[in-house]
């Protein structure tokens, strides 16, 4: 903020805007434009134009006035700078837009702007228009990420690796199955979005407490005309505002997608651990991992996703708090939504774009995948042996107990489980040496992993 004395010897204020939020610089992208001040002004003007047009259609204002208002309701005519000047004087952002538009309308047309409406008739309806644009980009991001996951699923549907539960080696699976599971999850986010659109893309023209009193006998027709003009549907009943459960649902959609990306990113981070190192996120030739340890290859992109997902989930808590407004409304939702909406959308957009880049450019280390698969010296095949012995006639419980005992013994001695089985001899009453050897082939104990991946690819591609 810089103060300079003007010609009239009064202090005049000139505002210098400097980006201070990370979403404006470090994590910015195409979503920023959808939520900037210029776009918001454009959407508010679009709604004001639709309202004037609807009034003109039913005859509550002259059609020539409606045409003039519609002609001037754009940011090419109504400048953001002028709106801010007026707002600084009157301390009301929507009325600043009305006044700035009225200044540009010829004859008496300016006197009909905003006729019958309350601020949130314009603002909530315009917010739905912004959401429509933002959710289109969100859907595109989800689709791109799902496509990248499906490509990896197809490429690695036969890449056998060790599956892990509770942080421990479980049984063999394939990397293709891992990616297919994630692709299905991202697909569900797309499904949720489609299902939610009927609750999200709604507007209102209902006045101060939702009675439509200011719009007179043609109130329903005016509202219907406005919404058809804008491509929205009218909310069936409102107070002064559209109820905030709808907005909380939107932020919940974003928080769910961000959380799914965090889950994927966390798995990549774990699989990139030095002791595991089966795959790694992309790392540029000139990229620096640590300012002091030159050898480091830190998974900072995945870590960043995990970090930012926390912010998006925090925005959901704000959205849920905004549901409980007092009476027909209070203003406690307003300030937080100015922060929450752009924050949640911009960060989720960034998370999805980063996740797509990581998935598309993952580096795999086949030797380490094989090493980890064989690391347990056959212990991960105990389940297979239990099932095989049961099919050969041994009691399932007896087979389980025998393999539990021998697995503990193999773990303690460092010997291969097969060697313990041969020495114990009980299993050899049911299995031939060849059958016992084949039972320890990890490549042949992946069940329907390949077919599951094929089923997912067929359904989604």
Q: Annotated catalytic sites, by residue?
A: 166, 290
Contacts of 178 by beta carbon, 8 Å cutoff, 6+ apart: 161, 267
Q: Which residue, among 207, 163, 110, has the nearest Cα to 372 in the 3D structure?
A: 163
Rounded to an integer, what distance in angstroms lies between the CA atom of residue 428 and that of residue 447?
24
In angstroms, the Cα distances linking 244 to 35, 236, 407, 455, 456 are: 19, 14, 56, 39, 36
Distance CA 128, CA 189 (A): 20
Q: How far apart are CA 154 and CA 461, in angstroms?
A: 11
The gap between the terminal CA atoms of the chain, to the nearest Å, is 54
Give the integer Cα–Cα distance in Å for 372 and 354.
28
Give the position of tokens 């639709």.
50
Give the largest Cα separation in the chain, rounded.
Answer: 107
Q: What span, in angstroms and rounded, lies between the C-alpha atoms of 337 and 129?
A: 15
Q: What's the CA gap between 418 and 406, in Å, rounded?
A: 9
Interatomic CA distance for residues 254 and 260, integer angstroms: 10
């Amino acid at each position: 903020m810089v103060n300079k004395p003007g010609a009239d010897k009064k202090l005049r204020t000139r505002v210098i805007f400097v980006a201070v939020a990370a979403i404006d610089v470090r994590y910015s992208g195409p979503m920023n434009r959808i939520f900037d001040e210029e776009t918001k002004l454009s959407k508010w003007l679009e709604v004001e134009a639709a309202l004037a047009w609807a009034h003109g259609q039913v005859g509550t204002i002259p059609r020539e006035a409606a045409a003039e208002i519609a002609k001037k309701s754009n940011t090419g005519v109504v400048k953001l700078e002028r709106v801010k000047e007026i707002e600084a004087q009157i301390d009301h952002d929507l009325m600043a837009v009305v006044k700035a538009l009225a200044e540009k309308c010829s004859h008496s047309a300016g006197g009909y702007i905003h006729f019958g409406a309350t601020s949130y008739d314009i603002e909530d309806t315009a917010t739905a228009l912004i959401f429509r644009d933002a959710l289109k980009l969100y859907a595109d991001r989800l689709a791109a990420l799902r496509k990248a996951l499906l490509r990896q699923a197809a490429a690695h549907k036969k890449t056998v690796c060790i599956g892990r539960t509770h942080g421990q080696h479980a049984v063999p699976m394939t990397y293709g199955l891992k990616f297919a599971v994630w692709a299905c999850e991202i697909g569900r986010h797309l499904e949720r979005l489609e299902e939610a659109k009927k609750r999200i893309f709604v507007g209102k023209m209902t006045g101060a407490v939702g009675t439509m009193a200011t719009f007179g006998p043609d109130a329903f027709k005016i509202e219907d005309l406005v919404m058809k003009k804008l491509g929205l549907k009218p909310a069936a009943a409102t107070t002064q505002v559209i109820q905030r459960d709808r907005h909380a649902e939107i932020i919940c959609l974003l928080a769910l997608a961000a959380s799914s990306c965090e889950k994927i990113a966390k798995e990549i981070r774990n699989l990139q651990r030095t002791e595991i190192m089966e795959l790694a996120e992309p790392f540029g030739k000139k990229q620096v991992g640590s300012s002091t340890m030159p050898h480091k290859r830190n998974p900072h992109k995945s870590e960043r996703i995990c970090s930012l997902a926390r912010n998006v989930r925090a925005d959901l808590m704000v959205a849920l708090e905004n549901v409980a407004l007092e009476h027909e409304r209070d203003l406690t939702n307003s300030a937080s939504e100015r922060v929450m909406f752009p924050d949640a959308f911009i960060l989720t957009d960034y998370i999805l774009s980063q996740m797509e880049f990581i998935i598309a450019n993952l580096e795999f280390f086949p030797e380490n995948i094989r090493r980890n698969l064989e690391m347990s010296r056959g212990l991960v095949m105990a389940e297979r042996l239990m099932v095989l012995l049961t099919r050969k006639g041994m009691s399932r419980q007896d087979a389980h107990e025998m393999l539990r005992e021998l697995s503990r013994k193999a773990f303690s001695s460092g010997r291969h489980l097969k060697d313990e089985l041969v020495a114990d001899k009980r299993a050899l009453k049911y299995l031939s040496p060849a059958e016992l050897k084949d039972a320890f082939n990890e490549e042949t104990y992946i069940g329907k992993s390949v077919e599951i991946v094929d089923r997912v690819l067929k359904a989604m591609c």
